[in-house]
């Protein structure tokens, strides 16, 4: 497997540690921000959730 930040001489792509770290930071921050803004999967207060034993087979 090639490493993005390592020199080409040792099978890397030669981008450098700082550049790879910066891109990784931006990608992770963007994903966290998207999830925080979209609020997908958050239950609303007072919503009724049926126990698994009471759900129909077609639910899955």
pLDDT reported for residue 10: 77
Residue 57 lies in a domain: no
pLDDT reported for residue 19: 87
pLDDT reported for residue 30: 97
Percent of the chain with pLDDT over 90: 22
Q: Which domain holds residue 7?
A: 1-44
Residue 26 lies in a domain: yes
3-state secondary structure of 13: coil
Q: Specify whether the CB–CB gap between 8 and 14 falls below 8 A.
A: yes
**pLDDT of 16-58, one tens digit each?**
888 888 999 999 999 999 988 988 777 777 767 666 665 555 5
Q: Quickly tell me which residue has 């087979």 as its tokens.
A: 57
Residue 13 lies in a domain: yes
pLDDT reported for residue 33: 93
Domain count, the chain: 1
Query: How far is residue 19's CA from residue 43's CA, in Å, rounded to a whole number?
Result: 38
3-state secondary structure of 2: coil
Of 4, 7, 2, the C-alpha closest to 23 is 4
Query: How far is residue 30's CA from residue 3's CA, in Å, rounded to a whole number?
Result: 23
């Amino acid at each position: 497997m090639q490493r993005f930040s390592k020199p080409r001489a040792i099978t890397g792509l030669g981008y450098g540690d700082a550049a790879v770290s910066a891109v990784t930071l931006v990608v992770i921050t963007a994903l966290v921000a998207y999830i925080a803004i979209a609020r997908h999967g958050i239950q609303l207060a007072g919503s009724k959730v049926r126990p698994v034993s009471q759900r129909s087979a077609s639910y899955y």
